Amino acid sequence: MIILAVDDIDIEKNWSVGFASEAVSMCMRVSEDPPSCNVVSNKCVDVRKDVSNHISSNISSWGTDGFDLAWALTGTCGIKFVYIVLP
């Protein structure tokens, strides 16, 4: 699965692109405050507005009819995301 996430689609300053499988997940995060570009292991989404406001996710389970995401939120941070799952 590949996931693209952004906190504000009009500004596009804080975003994440990640992938997940049953064995591993990882994402790249670009943040504005402080300015950074990081690789994050064990998460398929990690969006940071700033140090006190961020949201991350990972696959909590895979099934024959789909998957579940487990979200972790600190402060306030909403996102928009799209994903694609390939067999």
pLDDT in tens, 9-45: 787 789 999 999 888 999 999 998 888 999 999 999 9
- Decide: 74 and 53 in contact? Cβ < 8 Å: yes
Give yes or no for a cis peptide into 34 (omega within 30° of 0). yes
For residue 42, the model assigns a pLDDT of 92
Tell me what pLDDT residue 64 has.
85
Identity of residue 4: L
pLDDT of residue 86: 82
Vertex 79, ends 45 and 43: CA angle to 5°? 10
